[in-house]
Amino acid sequence: VAWNRRYLELFDYPPGLVFVGQSVAELIRYNAERGECGPGEVSEHVAKRIRHMHAGSPHVFERVRTDGRVIEMRGIPLSGGGYVTTYADVTAYKRVELALIEANETLEQRVAERTVQLSEALAAQEHAKREAEAANLSKTRFIAAAGHDLLQPLNAARLFTAALRQQPGLDREAAHLGERIETSFRAAEDLLEGLLDASRLDAGRYHPEIGAVALG
């Protein structure tokens, strides 16, 4: 067995346990008895690791120590015989890796939640749009129906006024009053015609034509 000072510190071996000529199996047994090799029989842990070394097969695995530290072990067979195992404390790296995984999961969750919120907002917007279009259509239909119903009595009133003004013997003041009444009816009729034109535009029955027009 050959080792360095960092190896002794890493596994916190007691003085006198590691020495030149010490059996590797005894070191494995010591670690297994402390629970450093995980659950299972001590003898099985020892036999398993000795078989790896005798087979000369390379291996890489991680061990979580009882104090929470993570040790990465790499076994490499030597061409001239023998076996080298390196040990590295990768606790800090594993913590960063875990933090990145958790951050990624949190980000994915936030993206999913935001996607749901946007979908709900778009659905609500589409619903509001449909309701507004339905309300606008109802308004257009009401204006068209009401305007048509109002135009008929206005037209009749204008006819009656015109007939009244043509009556023989009508004095000047009455004729002037009849003219003002007809003018008022005509203005109301023009207003209703404008409302009807607006409702036709809303309903898509009129299409504006863009072109040059004379000013003044």
Query: Token digits for 57?
Result: 């097969």
Q: How far is CA 203 from CA 126, 128, 134, 142, in A?
A: 20, 19, 11, 12
**Residue at 208 is within a domain:** no
DSSP secondary structure code for residue 26 in this structure = H
Q: How many domains does the chain have?
A: 2
Say if residue 60 is in the same domain as residue 144: no
User: Would you say residue 171 lies in a domain?
Assistant: yes
- Pick from 35, 70, 89: which residue ends a domain? 89
Is 214 part of a structural domain of the chain? no
User: pLDDT value at position 204?
Assistant: 64
Choose the final residue of a domain: 62, 89, 116: 89
Which residue, 96, 32, 101, is CA-closest to 63?
32
Give the pLDDT of the chain (216 residues) as one tens digit per residue: 677 888 888 888 888 888 888 888 898 899 888 888 888 899 998 898 888 777 777 888 888 888 888 989 888 888 777 778 888 889 999 999 989 998 988 988 888 999 999 999 999 999 999 888 888 777 777 777 776 777 777 777 777 777 777 777 777 787 778 788 888 878 887 877 777 777 777 666 656 678 888 886
- Predicted model pTM: 0.45
Distance CA 156, CA 45 (A): 111
Full strand arrangement of the beta sheet holding 70-77:
59-64, 70-77, 83-89
> Does a structural domain hold residue 211?
no
